[in-house]
Amino acid sequence: MAEQTTSLPDVDLVWGGFGSRDHPVVLLIAGQCQSMTWWDAEFCRRLAAQGRYVVRYDHRDTGCSTTWPAGHPAYSERELTTDPVGLLDAIGADRAHLVGLSAGGGIAQELALSQPHRVTTLTLMDTSPLTSAARGALPPPEPAVLASFADPVPPPDWLDRDAVIDHRVAIERPYAGTGGLDEERYRRLATEEVDRSADMEATLTNHPLAEGWSPGGTAEDITAPTLVLHGSADPLFPLAHGEALRDAIPGARLVVLEGGGHQQPPPAMWDLTIGELAAHTS
């Protein structure tokens, strides 16, 4: 995969595609503070082998895309949401199958509401309804995650590469599923991210500070065919959040990833996940 850069009016987005451009586009939208690295390249290759053009990209303020000074993002959630549209325009894709994880699932829902003509199908992974009748009744994060919010891992010396890698792994640990964190794999992915990122401090700081935005509408208003993939052990958005998405979005289907946490599917779940994605995007 050769990385490419698309220049939009206020940001350069770096992205990479797997497979043939002649195939339907599957756009992978990572979570908050995640670069495209967390969509494992081998996962992308296997999905592309199903006859899809799989695209992953660095959100603004992550990876090699444009960054702003840490603590001072000069954009809102609206720009994070519309960036994928500019990327699709650059690729020459009128529509795409959107796959969003966590906050990326929020972006995917916002696009399905605000620009439904650009969304062929929707896949929502380990996320929650933006707004719906059920939203207020959903369970909170598990105690370990709440504790990480109250007492976060201290920031590293951002000039110390090894310390930053250690930090990147440490902050993912509370989100693991029943099997615990795959230390070797997460360290590999964290190392890839740190080594190719322009500013890891900005990556891990700025997204939560961006001003909120809502396109209007609720999950019940989404018309795109929707697949919900949700870890049974997701500690941030317990399974009831995935069930709420299934119940809110007309015709949505839920597939539970047994033992899965709040994370891109680990290799042990790739056969199931890729099979479901291939069927849903056919």
> So which residues are the catalytic ones?
102, 234, 262
Question: What is the C-alpha end-to-end distance of the chain, expressed in Å?
Answer: 23
Written as six digits, the tokens of 176 are 């693991």
Instruction: Write down the residue that tokens 């699932």 correspond to.
Output: 105
135: helix, strand or coil: helix
Which amino acid type is present at position 276? E
Rounded Cα gap, residues 38 and 100, in angstroms: 12
Rounded Cα gap, residues 223 and 252, in angstroms: 10
Give yes or no for a contact between 39 and 99, defined as CB atoms under 8 angstroms apart: no
Q: 8 to each of 13, 15, 69, 245, how far by Cα in Å? A: 8, 13, 19, 32
Written as six digits, the tokens of 64 are 């090699």
Question: Nearest CA to 244 among 228, 257, 231, 260?
Answer: 228
Positive or negative: CA dihedral 39, 100, 228, 133: positive
User: What strands, in cross-sheet order, belong to the sheet with 253-257?
Assistant: 4-8, 11-18, 53-57, 25-29, 96-101, 119-125, 226-231, 253-257
- Alpha helix locations (H) across the chain? 41-48, 77-91, 103-114, 143-150, 161-172, 183-196, 200-203, 239-248, 270-280
